[in-house]
Structure 1
Amino acid sequence: MASSKSIIEGLAKITTLGSVFYNPVQEFNRDLSLTVISTFAKKYIPWKKENKRKEEDIVTAIDEPREAGIKYDDGIYLLEALSATGLRSIRYAKEIPGIKEIVANDISIKAVEDIKRNVEENNVNHLVTPAQNDATLLMYAHKRDNQFDVIDLDPYGCPSIFLDSAIQAVKDGGLLLVTATDMAVLAGNSPETCYSKYGAISLKSKYCHEMSLRILLQCIESHANRYGRYIVPLLSLSADFYVRVFVKVFSGAHKCKFSTSKLSYVFNCTGCDSFELQPLGVLKKNEKNPKNVKFSIPTGPSVNKKCQHCNQSYHMGGPIWSAPLHDPAFVSDVLMSASDKLGTFKRIHGVLSVISEELVDQPLYYVLDKLAGTLHVSTPPVMTIRSAILNAGYKVSFTHMHKTSLKTDAPATVIWDIMRCWQKLNPVSEKRLHENSPAKNILDKQPEKEYDFTHHPDANPASRKMGFLRFQENPLPFWGPGTRSTAMVGDAKMVKSKKNQGKRKREEESPENTEDNLV
């Protein structure tokens, strides 16, 4: 008989039998998700009641207070497409106010048995409906009638196979939550695989986590555009071993024409890791009528054959989503509504604080350690470099994706000039400057001016001053994506790894593979 395990998280208590997948590290993911959905629902429910359809339609937040655990006929209709134990759906039912119904679906018979039992034990039968179905088929069945207000996709690995059905099954103005855990593919270890899964070439670079988010967003946008729909990102997050995005979905053929201006190719220098973006499309405004725009194709490429900074070659990646990753007003609302009773509240508060400080309109970022390492110079204090950028009249921020990140509107020429000035104060040994190396080619050029490293009053952001938990702590036991659930659709199926044990030996000993038969 399969052993059982009890799990308490938030207001939910569940038991699992056998090998149905559960990952405790994902508590942060679940805590943040239910906070985002709760914040979204406050404005979406009245927006839906008034039959709004366009992104521009504004309504005030819901007036009457709503309680969690109570069924509302005009509330949120939510699908958790890949539910496993049902923990997430049960927590949504018990902790998100204004729910109409939650469909907790899984293709595994054993998983659905767990879901049914856990729903019963948590007394949320009136809110959670277990379903045993292929997730894509279930969503296709809702693409015209009875669409969902919210769809949560949190698969093991790549989510792209679910996007076509999900983008059709969510209502106008509805919320789509998507997780991707195949970070090796998204972060540049296998560009050809990334293209086959996401329709974009990934690059191995220091800004790979942000590029992963932007590849995922462009993939969702490309699926949406096929059906005259488009996305508006509310929050995009890189955490632990995954990326997760929260986007609203709208319909509008004309708005889809703006998609090319939201996408770009990336040219990344193989020597110094500098980057340039080449948009797929540009918008030209009519001076007489600013509301009218002309859609144009840009000239290019935006870089020379060799990098102007270090004289090395470029790699080209993308396309990526180059429009904003977040809606600052929404992030602020989520930050204010996060409950201090959540198990990961401190981390949610810290990460969202950093996100609220990020520059919205500057794709990708530099990493201070990489800048210093390229020149073989001692790494300067991050406050010193931030001050130099601010003193030069540019903007700079951290990003939640890297501790020493520099997200800035300063061009790469300014960044390298600042590093040249730092090198003058901290000279590099000539022995380390090999002929035609990136370091020598960069340092052979003189900075256009002397940059001021005096401390700037805005160099230290509020989240850092307040000592918020901005970045993930040291990995916990079992940290990582874990292994795919071994609960199968039917009992007759064998686990693949067990089935293949000793396969090579059996083949070698087979009479068909004797020397006589191999002549």
Structure 2
Amino acid sequence: MSNENTGESRVTEINSVNDQYNVVSEGKAKVLMPKDNEVFYNPIQQFNRDMSIQAINSWRLVYNEEKLAKLKRKNPEAVLPEKDGKIKIMEALAASGLRSLRYAKEIDGVDYILANDLSEEAVDSIKRNAEYNSIPEILLKTNQGDAIDVLYAHRPPEKQFDVIDLDPYGSAAPFIDAAVQAVKSGGLLCVTCTDMAVLASNNHPETSYAKYGGVALRTEFCHELGLRLLIHALQSSATRYQRYIVPLLSCSIDFYIRVFIRVFDSPKKAKDAVVDTGLVFYCNGCSSFYTQPFGARTLTGNKNLKYSAAHGPVVGTNCLACKTKLTIGGPCWISSIQDHGFASSMYEAVKTDPSRFFTNKRMMGMLKVISEEQDVPFHYTLSELCSAVKATCPPILKITSAILNLGFKVSTAHSCMSSLKTNAPNEIIWDIMRAYVNSIGKSAKIVENSVPYHILSVPPRSDIDFSIHPEANPDSRKIKLVRFQLNPEKNWGPKSRHRAPKRKM
């Protein structure tokens, strides 16, 4: 099946071996899948696995450069010993082992991979598939056990993993506390959550708070808020152990979110969590939003950092633009969620070897958009802005140009089409929308004390310029990458939870 919207073709090779198994080919791995157990393999997750392989390979280069730089500070002639350049990976919930198989074959410099699963059937499958792929046990080790127990058992520094991959069915929340302790300082956590009904809506505020320590909202930026809630949960856990996190890549993909986070030891930098965490106030009337950090950080005269409670609130109970009551979301991570340099390095690696990944076009599109994305909390959408002032939608380049012409920055968000992600404050955005409405004429259907009435009752500033700015058209659009993904194929969502078949007596 092909899909021109995503730039991908579903041509996963599936051949019958015998009456019991099919062979599924993905990347450099071939996996024996039971014919009576179709939920064991979800081809839509190939993009997740492709991205993870490149992310780990790109992170490993940085990781080893840091190790070498540390050695060279003591001895400029030092070289990194081979054993120190190898990484240990744990896949905590391995299922069939396809991800671990691909990691063994497609990630450079692996010492060994521990593929763990609670299911005896899954562990048998991993062993069978490792043998089928001629992967030695010294490279791909298996373990049957509860993932939380196994992670906690690897808390001592000498037992920690360089990379831990959490890709559960549903929420990763139960595994976070153990995972942030079992990864080495400077190591990488790769975390997936598929419970988007909790993370990206306000249907279950009590559940999102119980799992992630923050309340989700139903907004146009709900997927970004889901990412920030997950990162907040990771940081909250890490801080308890005097560790801090650095997000490298945070992705909203299809029906799930995926983050790549580095974890470091530092009691001093762990204190920054109070500045990096905060609340979001959202207006359901006009889509304005405001963020409130919990703490402030200042540099004292002797160059030490001093932390204090933040002043607030940043806004009252009602929206400044349209007078609608505000809804509170969070606490969530309000600092950086993307490392643009890391995203660009991944993009260049994928671009250099276009035949390496089946989902190459989609990877390039997402990575390029992320590398362009303004790293500020949350975004607007053009449709929301125009709806709030009862106006037809102009070309998005017209609005982005107006923002750029005022000296602010703007981009799209990878998580939402027709989004506007900018460092311009709310009042600037509404001044631009007021000027736009003045240029086309106000709707006759606006009633007194309505949302558009309150917004348009304020005159716009006089220096709004809608002339097309030379930077309004991003490189990702100029080179015609697949920037936003539509449904990859029919019935593309998460499959049912795997259940082991009943054993014959």
Structure 1: 5+ residue stretches without partners: 67-71, 494-519
* Alignment partner, residue 75 of structure 1: 86
Task: State whether residues 67 and 80 of structure 2, in contact with CA within 8 Å, keep that contact through their aligned partners in structure 1.
Answer: no
* Alignment partner, residue 329 of structure 1: 341
The one-letter code of the counterpart of 2:324 is Q
Match of 2:476 among 448, 463, 467: 463
Residues 1:243 and 2:267 aligned together: no
The one-letter code of the counterpart of 1:217 is I
The one-letter code of the counterpart of 2:331 is P
* Alignment partner, residue 147 of structure 1: 160
- Relative distance call for 1:59 and 1:274 in structure 2 (3 A) is farther
- Relative distance call for 1:427 and 1:103 in structure 2 (3 A) is same
- Relative distance call for 1:407 and 1:74 in structure 2 (3 A) is closer
Query: What is the distance in 1 between the residues matched to 2:75 and 2:196?
Result: 38
- Relative distance call for 1:59 and 1:326 in structure 2 (3 A) is farther
* Alignment partner, residue 10 of structure 2: none
Tell me by how many angstroms 1:50 deviates: 7.7
Query: What is the distance in 1 between the residues matched to 2:177 and 2:19?
Result: 37
Task: State whether residues 431 and 460 of structure 2, in contact with CA within 8 Å, keep that contact through their aligned partners in structure 1.
Answer: yes
Summarize the alignment of residues 365-380 of structure 1 with structure 2, pairs less than 5 Å apart. Answer: 365-380=379-394
Give a deviation string over 1:26-63, Cα, whole Å, max 9, x none: 111100100010111123235457878xxxx9999x98
* Alignment partner, residue 403 of structure 2: 389
Give a deviation string over 1:223-250, Cα, whole Å, max 9, x none: 1111111111111111111111101111
Match of 2:364 among 343, 349, 360: 349
Query: What is the distance in 1 between the residues matched to 2:241 and 2:75?
Result: 26
Give a deviation string over 1:160-181, Cα, whole Å, max 9, x none: 1001111111111111010111
Query: What is the distance in 2 between the residues matched to 1:48 and 1:153?
Result: 25
* Alignment partner, residue 34 of structure 1: 53
* Alignment partner, residue 11 of structure 1: 28
- Relative distance call for 1:418 and 1:59 in structure 2 (3 A) is farther
Match of 1:429 among 443, 446, 458: 443
Task: State whether residues 229 and 256 of structure 1, in contact with CA within 8 Å, keep that contact through their aligned partners in structure 2.
Answer: yes
Query: What is the distance in 2 between the residues matched to 1:30 and 1:46?
Result: 25
Residues 1:212 and 2:220 aligned together: no
* Alignment partner, residue 116 of structure 2: 105
Give the match's secondary structure for 1:253: coil
The one-letter code of the counterpart of 1:150 is V
Give the match's secondary structure for 1:430: coil
Match of 1:138 among 147, 150, 169: 150
Task: State whether residues 94 and 115 of structure 2, in contact with CA within 8 Å, keep that contact through their aligned partners in structure 1.
Answer: yes
Match of 2:288 among 274, 280, 305: 274
Summarize the alignment of residues 178-327 of structure 1 with structure 2, pairs less than 5 Å apart. Answer: 178-188=191-201, 189-286=203-300, 288-289=301-302, 291-327=303-339
Give the match's secondary structure for 1:192: helix
Task: State whether residues 170 and 176 of structure 1, in contact with CA within 8 Å, keep that contact through their aligned partners in structure 2.
Answer: yes
Tell me by how many angstroms 1:404 deviates: 0.7
Query: What is the distance in 1 between the residues matched to 2:106 and 2:150?
Result: 25
Structure whose alpha-carbon radius of gyration is higher: 1
- Under a length normalisation based on structure 1, what TM-score does the superposition of the two structures give? 0.88
Percent identity of the aligned residues? 46
Summarize the alignment of residues 152-167 of structure 1 with structure 2, pairs less than 5 Å apart. Answer: 152-167=165-180
Tell me by how many angstroms 1:377 deviates: 0.7
* Alignment partner, residue 64 of structure 2: 45
- Under a length normalisation based on structure 2, what TM-score does the superposition of the two structures give? 0.90
The one-letter code of the counterpart of 2:364 is H
- Relative distance call for 1:452 and 1:49 in structure 2 (3 A) is closer
Task: State whether residues 378 and 426 of structure 1, in contact with CA within 8 Å, keep that contact through their aligned partners in structure 2.
Answer: no
Task: State whether residues 22 and 84 of structure 1, in contact with CA within 8 Å, keep that contact through their aligned partners in structure 2.
Answer: no
Query: What is the distance in 1 between the residues matched to 2:373 and 2:68?
Result: 34
* Alignment partner, residue 498 of structure 1: none
Residues 1:453 and 2:466 aligned together: yes
Structure 2: 5+ residue stretches without partners: 1-17
Query: What is the distance in 2 between the residues matched to 1:59 and 1:411?
Result: 49
Query: What is the distance in 1 between the residues matched to 2:244 and 2:50?
Result: 27
* Alignment partner, residue 514 of structure 1: none
Task: State whether residues 49 and 74 of structure 1, in contact with CA within 8 Å, keep that contact through their aligned partners in structure 2.
Answer: no
Task: State whether residues 400 and 472 of structure 2, in contact with CA within 8 Å, keep that contact through their aligned partners in structure 1.
Answer: yes
